[in-house]
Chain A
Amino acid sequence: MAKTMLTRRSFVKASAVAAATVAAASMAEELVPASDAYADDSSASEEKIVHTVCRACIAQCPILAHVRDGRVVKLEGDPDGPMTHGAACAKGLAGIQALYNPMRNKYPMIRTGERGTNSFKRVSWDEALDTIADKLMEAYDKYGPEAVFTSTGGGGNPHINGPIRFANSFGAPNTFEPGCAQCYLPRQSQARLVYGGRPDDNLSIADSNVLEYYFQDTEARVCVLWGAGPSWSGPSMTGNAIARLRARPEGLKTVVIDPRCTADASKADIWLPIRTGTDVALMMCWIKYIIDNELFDKEFCQQWTNFPFLVDPDTKIDIDAKEIGGTEGNYVVYDNAQGKVVEMPYPYPDGYDVALFGEYDVTFSDGTTKKCKTGYQVLKEACEDYSLENTADICWLDADKIEEAIRLYTDNCSTLIHGLATDRSPNSAQAALAALELECMMGHVECPGAALQAFGKLGPQPGIVENDTFGQGCLQALVTREMLEKRLGAPEHKGFYNWQVSHIPSVLEAIKTGEPYKPRIWLERSGNKLAMLGNVKSWYDVFPEIDFCVHAYMYPTSFTVECADVIIPTREWLECPKPVKLLNMIFPRQEVAHLFETADETMYWARLAAKCAERGNDRCRRAFDWNEVAPGKSVMDGNWEMGVADGIPWAHDEAELMEFFMKDCVDPDTGEKMTFPELCEKGPITYSPMETWRQYYVYKQTNPDTGLPYGFGSHSKRVEPYSDITVKLGRTGYPFALCEEGQVDLGEEYSVEYEPVPYYMEPDESPLDDSEYPLVMTAGRVPYFHHGTLRNVPWLREIQPTAEIWINKQDADKYGIENSGDWVKVSSRRGETYARALITGAIAPGMVYQERFWYPELLDTDYKDHGSWMAGNVNVLTKNDAPFSDVYGTYTLEGFQVKIEPVDSCPFDIWTEPEQFSAWLPEPSDPTTDDYEIPEEL
């Protein structure tokens, strides 16, 4: 076993050999001076306080940065933040140690040694970009654009969608992100299909939604946190919101459904420590109970959902009134008042009393008669088996507690907040749908206290382009139908079209086999793919198939060492300018500092696109032209008829990029158009008065264009919890298959069948029949790391220096683990890794929990044992083969089987003591800006 040679002294000393070949991130002597926490205060000049916005995770908390002599010397929460009220979490406050970290990638580098060694040489930006563009266009000419693929990640960066935009402008059909199908895509997409809301109108508080919870006067009294842990996923934003509501005199009661006792679970009125992977069974139980006990909102269900619509049993699609000789666009219902099957106009007619349940004879125009059920009836029958008792058995819960939880939900002003837990296993689509069905049944739509809201839909719009989501806006107008067809795994799992991304196991398989074609050039941006991808060893095994790989990030990671041929140095959030919308306000994220030759990521991709355009890629040329990329249709209004659009082109320089971001932004005081420097100067602005912005029941308000209520973005203008649109998605790609031609039908060749109502799948690896690997692995966040980020930040690593596995005492006794802190080996059918045991009642017997840890300290010597990504990483164990989610292609990151055994120590030479992390403290030195040249455009 190799030994880490790097004490702090030798780390610095080794890096002083700034010869032709150096290790990435061993250049501590060239650091720009650090925070005054480490510098002499005596010559300090005046301190400036700057409004900016954190992006250490996706929450975007406003921060006040204290700056002296161009250096960031202190960070604190911004009291003006309307969603944070001055709060700042450990990750955000540690931003200084991320910014001034000695590991920063400082300039572009090109590999000099073999992959697996940390050997690179410094090159100019031009040389780096020319090298990449040459490789890209050579591959384009030789193999076609599909030889190139890109990837991205959610950790700590404001430009997550750059890789999708670049792929679309290059003509490459494949981009992926390890979250995505395993995080947020199922819940976000299903909400668009059911609620017809805008991209951010859904039940996920961790993805900056559920805005009702940022108001102290909300009528919300009960909250169901289903696989959500807002106190840990976003401590200073989502956690702050929940804490403030809990602290009210009237409080906030909570039901927490989570196998872990998170901070939220430990404060819950009812904690249901569910067996991981069985959530859909529990949701179907709730649906059944609420139907059986008639606890749903009958009026809302009749008037504003498609539950009463009669369904064609042959197609599973709601019958259009045209099919019975009525008006196209109306639907068909059984009206109790008239005692017959009638067509259902919009809005709901006075005097109707439509049947929610039952089966009725419908005579079609061609004279045939079919027995047709209502959508609600179909759902009811699907849930038939999930009684309280059966479900308690499946989920390892207590039937009485389940009932108590349902009653708390149904008997109060409540909402269901749906976290990402259920996105991490193949039942993801059904969980997303069932959660929305519950909220629709209860009428929790745009009413006080509800998660689903259309705040800000009416009244002044922010006028900025946020450009940090997937899907629409990502240069979609440049995508061809052929690219949609070639997108790996997307025709089978058509939910991927919503975010314009590919199915990760299908990309892996194509790299391995060359079928249906071979992706071979990899442009990656994000942290450590070797820590974040499911079953990472299967990815490591195909690295020899990758002809050329570029890694763009702020630091080198395991991925850099094992796979990258070129390193692109990118900016930390304290270096990235961008306007950020928070409720009815806009905050400036400012370029508070800028170190070395690091690039704004969007500008890196733009410049690479320009280089490819110079080499003859015409699509890349078009990507700089407004007329080509933004046909002027807005797609963010939540209508299924989404259309292609609302992208911004690549910018020629950063000033132009800021103009694009600030597109229609207006200074509320003058009514004049506002520039980004003006926003920075002025500080946060309010673009819409709160009383205009925060309105309930937007769907009931009259649309002046039609004289009718706005309704929802679906065809029926109702919410559609009987999700026949999901069935249509499978058969055609509608409404997500979007390209230059607009919304396209992918046709019979690509047709697959999805279900309109949920069904439960027992996990593929299950404790019910697995004696070799007896324990269920679950997953979840800790509050001081986001994804794979920040493991090289001393203040955070000393909080949790090593990987940790939670295990119940009963299991610890069974498997011979004596004390918390003891090392254990954890194995699955994919591999083995190590962690320190935490023996705790915070995890139910039969289950264990471990996070995705990796060890940056193992990068710096030329380790051949791959310890940086294998020593403590649960993704060595996770499962990336079938079954996948039908709609979203989700693989298994939780709810698979492991075994554990005690070991004497971790066999890798990781750092465990606080003093060891001092190697990553900022090292003050003289300014070295003369050594760095940042091209104008970057």
Chain B
Amino acid sequence: MPHYAIAVNLNLCTGCMSCEVACKQENDVPLGVYWNRVQRFMQGDAYPDFKQFWLPTMCQQCQEAPCVEVCPVGASYRDGDDNTVLIDEDKCIGCQACISACPYGVRTYVEDTNKVVKCELCHQLTTQGDKPACVKNCPAGCRFYGDADDPDSDFSKAIANADADSVHQFPDSGNKPTSAYILSDRIGDWPYEG
């Protein structure tokens, strides 16, 4: 099965927040809730020992997704065709077990609806052959969507073109995140192990 995800080249990301707004518009995300959140990292107290980059965080499309495993009603599931980790809102009972299980804090419980929400890679677009809204609109062209297992995908090519040393993933506690980040030492120090 394929493993679709987004790779972000942080060497290019400019922290313009277009992806946050594109996501909210496309997916009707409420105020105060983020499926894709951009965090600014500032390392060092003063010039010249100062580095800065922005880190967008969204569902990492784990290959051993704990959210899918812990969901008691099958609301967190993998798409039968493209294997994307999705949420079936009709099934979700708002128990938030998935939120506890997710190592990256990318899921949000919405009180009004008693549902849990998260990035679904704009499945409504990708199933029509389109790209996720944050990828299409990205002013810096730093987001790459595709199947990590397909060497010809935008995702894989972005990773292949980067120095191996500058390719990072969020810490893996056996859940095997698919999303990847490119960050060179010159631009910033990857803030996590791995």
Contact = CB atoms under 8 A, between A and B. Distances in A.
B28 to A, nearest CB: 5
Contact of B16 (A231, A271, A809, A915): A231
A817 interface: no
Interface residues of B, number: 39
Contacts of B187: 266-267
Interface in A61-120: 74-77, 85-90, 93-94, 96
A794 interface: yes
Interface stretch (A186-194, A240-248, A694-702, A882-890): A240-248
Nearest to B42: A840
Given A243-B140, A266-B53, A231 B14 contact: yes
Interface stretch (B18-26, B58-66, B72-80, B171-179): B18-26
B46 A89 contact: no
Interface string A844-871: 1100000000000000000000000000
Interface string A250-278: 00000000000101101100010100000
Interface string B27-62: 010011000000000111111111111100000000
B16 A263 contact: yes
Main secondary structure, interface of A, reads mixed
Among A87, A264, A794, A810, residue most surrounded by chain B Cβ atoms (within 10 Å): A87
B136 interface: yes
B47 A273 contact: yes
Interface in A780-833: 783-784, 794-796, 798-799, 808-810
Contacts of B138: 87
A89 B47 contact: no
Nearest to B38: A799
A810 B46 contact: yes
A273 B44 CA distance: 15
Contact of B18 (A90, A244, A841, A845): A90
Interface string B128-141: 00000100111111
Contacts of A398: 48
Contacts of B137: 76-77, 86-88, 93, 236
A94 B21 CA distance: 7
Given A842-B42, A914-B32, A784 B25 contact: no
A398 B49 CA distance: 14
Contacts of A796: 21
Contact of A89 (B9, B18, B28, B45): B18
Given A89-B16, A232-B16, A783-B16, A239 B139 contact: yes
B24 A239 contact: no
Contact of A90 (B9, B20, B50): B20
Contacts of B51: 266
Contacts of B106: none
Contact of B139 (A94, A236, A799, A808): A236
Given A266-B51, A841-B45, A842-B52, A235 B31 contact: no
A335 B26 CA distance: 68
Interface residues of A, number: 55
Given A261-B50, A784-B16, A798 B32 contact: yes
A506 interface: no
Contact of B14 (A783, A808, A917): A783
Among A87, A93, A271, A794, residue most surrounded by chain B Cβ atoms (within 10 Å): A93
A90 B46 contact: no
B84 interface: no
B47 A93 contact: no
Contacts of B54: 263
A648 to B, nearest CB: 33
Among B16, B28, B43, B48, residue most surrounded by chain A Cβ atoms (within 10 Å): B16
Contacts of A273: 47
B25 A915 contact: no
A263 B14 contact: yes
Given A267-B187, A809-B45, A783 B141 contact: no
Interface in B104-144: 133, 136-142
A398 B48 CA distance: 10
Interface of B: 9, 11-12, 14-18, 20-22, 24-26, 28, 31-32, 42-54, 133, 136-142, 187
Interface of A: 37-38, 74-77, 85-90, 93-94, 96, 231-232, 235-236, 239-240, 243-244, 246-247, 261, 263-264, 266-267, 271, 273, 398, 401, 783-784, 794-796, 798-799, 808-810, 840-842, 844-845, 913-915, 917-918, 921
30 contacts: A75-B25, A76-B22, A77-B136, A86-B136, A87-B137, A87-B139, A88-B139, A89-B16, A90-B20, A90-B21, A93-B22, A231-B140, A232-B16, A235-B16, A235-B140, A239-B16, A239-B139, A243-B141, A247-B141, A261-B52, A266-B53, A266-B187, A783-B15, A798-B32, A809-B46, A842-B52, A845-B46, A913-B32, A915-B31, A918-B31
Name the 8 nearest CB pairs between A and B, nearest first: A914-B32, A263-B14, A266-B52, A231-B14, A841-B50, A235-B16, A235-B139, A783-B16
